[in-house]
Structures are given as structure tokens and as C-alpha cells.
Amino acid sequence: MTDTSRIFLSAPHMSGRERELVTEVFDSNFVAPAGPMIDRFEKAFCKTTGHRAAAALSSGTGAMDIALRLLDVKPGDDIWVADLTFVGGVSPITYHGANPVFLDVSPGTWTLDPVLLANELEKAAKAGKLPKVVIPVDLYGQSCDLDEIVQLCDLYEIPVVVDSAEAMGARYKDRHAGKGAKFAIYSFNGNKIITTSGGGMLASDDEEMIARARYLSQQARQPVAHYEHTEIGYNYRMPSLCAAVGVGQLEVLEDRVARRREIFSAYAEAFLSNAGVSMMPEASYGTCNRWLSVMMLDPAETKVTPSHICQAAEARNIECRPVWKPMRHQPVFKHERFFATGVSDRLFSTGVCLPSGSAMGEYEVQRVIAEVSAVLAGP
Ligand SMILES: Cc1ncc(COP(=O)(O)O)c(C=O)c1O
């Protein structure tokens, strides 16, 4: 019998160990956003990524919110952010009353364009309107050119918060993606390469700032018994049960990256012989975790479009998705400023994300290949 069950874009992939660790939390009765499992997750995370400190939080969005708070972002500040990204890293800018300004990405990496950034920073400095923070994004698990971006921002003393939500297990030069900025944020949402069901991490080499992030994430409680507050905080701490899942997932991160890269290679091998088809490039300075495998369709060479692929796949119970819609085209951001070169527009109109979950077996990968190949072959 043929299996036609749904193939998701990126489904959770448990190793089995998570269940034991969750049981440990039950046994300890720390069924709360407190307890030793959270500490254990933060330590294991730091060991994996090389950050000196990290605060486990309830989401990547919350991690970005706290990062901006720690950097004293205020109403009216400009925050520069990559145009091609998911909204979770951008919404927190507005929580602080600041203005997102969108910058286009490089064609070779799909991440914040350092040449554009250099030019626009120079102009902004002359106009006396420099951003308070710059947020590059490690899109689809590909690190941005972080050293280059940090160096440029250092010239103007602008802190960088890298949105590494999609980049667990990815490498930049000889280190983990996200390491080297003032702050990095990560997501453990259910669709990410490793998950805690929902969760995020704020990481930095600044241990004091991370201690403050933990305090802010727990309602900014002063260390007294009667609940005293001298400033407003958040309820953003990660629950212990989620941290337990995270500890188990970190143990298999390398395997998960390897499997996603294998799936990407299988797609590349199957599709690249079709005219007008290419795959997301990999930057020479790093190793993409291939969180999502993305295929591009050049309209000059093929009549097949991303929506043809998505519709045909959906009809066979296979989930595909267009490349993220650039932020400057989101109705909610239609009044915001941007610096565009046309790259994110082109990627949005020509790119399609293919099922990439590491739990997919060979049968599922071949099912996707067969369906997509049939569409590429034409009617
Ligand atoms: C690039 C990017 N930034 C931020 C987020 C927000 O993370 P979370 O869903 O954990 O809030 C996500 C993922 O959802 C993301 O992909």
C-alpha cells in the first residue's frame, strides 16, 4: 500500500531521550519555569555554541524583545533589520515603539548585504540618523557574514543582535552561528532544527547582561520576599519541561544537521539537471544547517513557478512554502523605510521551500522528489 500521509515542511524529530528527561522533571516536581533542568539546558547550550552565557526563554521572539530592552531601545529609535526574514525577529522592534528599517540581502548568502550596510551607514552618519541596533538574520540556517557586519557597526558603535533563530548547528568560520555579536537569539519552536516544543534563547558573552535578562524574564522581581519591583519585566522564562526536551535535542543536534544536509543534497541531485532550477547557495565562509532546503526557479528558463510546486505538492499532501515574503511588503510595515536592491524580491518570487525535516525517511524524500520532478517536467 502506498503511504500518502502528510509530509510537513519541518516536523519535530525526537530522539527518545527527551522522554526520560521530561520524566526527570516530573520526578523532581519542578513543573514550573524554574529548577535545575533550565540551568542544565543553558549550560549544554553554551557548550554547543561557545557563548559565555545564555538565558532560556519562552520564545525567540521574547529573546529579541529582551535583547532590545537590554540595549535601551526607545520609542523613535531606528532599528535596521534584514528585509528577508520571519516576523518574529521584527515585531519586538515595534513593542519598544522603535521603527524597523529594512535592508536587502546579498544574492550569494541571502543574508544582510554588508556592502549595502556600509553605504547606508555612511549616509546615515552624515545625516545624523544612525540606527540604535542592527539585526542581521541567519536565514534558513545560513549564517550572515557576521564579522564583516560587526566590524562595520563597530565603526559607529552600534551593537549587533543577530537573529540566529533558524541557525542552531550552523557554522560561521570556525565557530557556531551567532557567536561574535553583542547578542544572538535562537528559536526552539516546533518547526526548528531542534525544538523544545516552543522556546528561545538569548545568548551573549556578556554574563552580566544575561543575568539581567533572566531577571527581566521573571517579572523583574527584586531579591526580597514581598515581591518588590523597581522596573517593569516580562513573563518570558522557559518552563522546565521544555528545557528537558531541549537538553535531549541538543545531544542529537549534529545528527540533525547531517540529515538535513543529506536531504538538501538529494534534492539538488534530483532537480539541478532541470533548466532554470537552482538551489540556495552556501556561503564560502560557513556551513549552512540546511534548516530548509530552498529551490529557485528562474522565470527566464522555466515556466514552472513556486506556486505550481506548492499547489501540486499540496494536492499530494506534501507541504511546500514560498520563500518568506520580504518584510517591507508586509501590509503592517507598509509605512516603514527600506533600502532595497531587489534581491529579496527576486528570491520571494522565485524560491520555494521544500520539506526538510530530519525525521523524513528515504521513502518520504523520494515521494517529494517524484512529485516535484513531475511538475518540473511540465504537463
Ligand atoms: C528568523 C526568525 N526570527 C525569529 C523567530 C521567532 O522565534 P519564535 O517562534 O521562537 O518566537 C523565528 C521563528 O519562528 C524565525 O524564523
More confident residue, 2 or 296: 296
Ligand 1 binding pocket includes 178 (Cβ within 6 Å)? no
Decide if pLDDT at 1 tops 80: no
* Residue nearest atom 8 in ligand 1 by C-alpha distance: 60
47 burial type by CB count under 10 A (0-12 exposed, 13-18 middle, 19+ buried): exposed
- The pLDDT tens digits for 286-338 are 999 999 999 999 999 999 999 999 999 999 999 999 999 999 999 999 999 99
Q: Would you state the pLDDT for residue 232? A: 97
pTM for this structure? 0.98
- The pLDDT tens digits for 32-71 are 888 999 999 999 999 999 999 999 999 999 999 999 999 9
Q: Would you state the pLDDT for residue 295? A: 98
- The pLDDT tens digits for 119-134 are 999 999 999 999 999 9
Average pLDDT of the chain is 97
Separation of alpha carbons 205 and 351, rounded Å:
36
Ligand 1 binding pocket includes 65 (Cβ within 6 Å)? no
The C-alpha angle with vertex 62 and arms to 60 and 63, in degrees rounded to 5, equals: 60
Class of domain 17-250 (CATH, top level) = alpha beta
Ligand 1 binding pocket includes 166 (Cβ within 6 Å)? yes
What residues does each domain of the chain span?
17-250, 253-377
Q: Among residues of the chain, what percentage have pLDDT more than 90? A: 97
Q: Would you state the pLDDT for residue 239? A: 97
Separation of alpha carbons 73 and 75, rounded Å:
7
Identify the band that residue 365 occupies on the pLDDT scale cut at 50, 70 and 90. Answer: very high
Ligand 1 binding pocket includes 163 (Cβ within 6 Å)? yes
How many Å lie between the centroid of ligand 1 and the Cα of residue 292?
14
Ligand 1 binding pocket includes 137 (Cβ within 6 Å)? yes
How many Å lie between the centroid of ligand 1 and the Cα of residue 370?
31
Phi and psi torsions of 185, nearest 5°: -115, 145
How many Å lie between the centroid of ligand 1 and the Cα of residue 200?
8
Q: Which CATH superfamily is domain 253-377 in?
A: Aspartate Aminotransferase, domain 1 (3.90.1150.10)
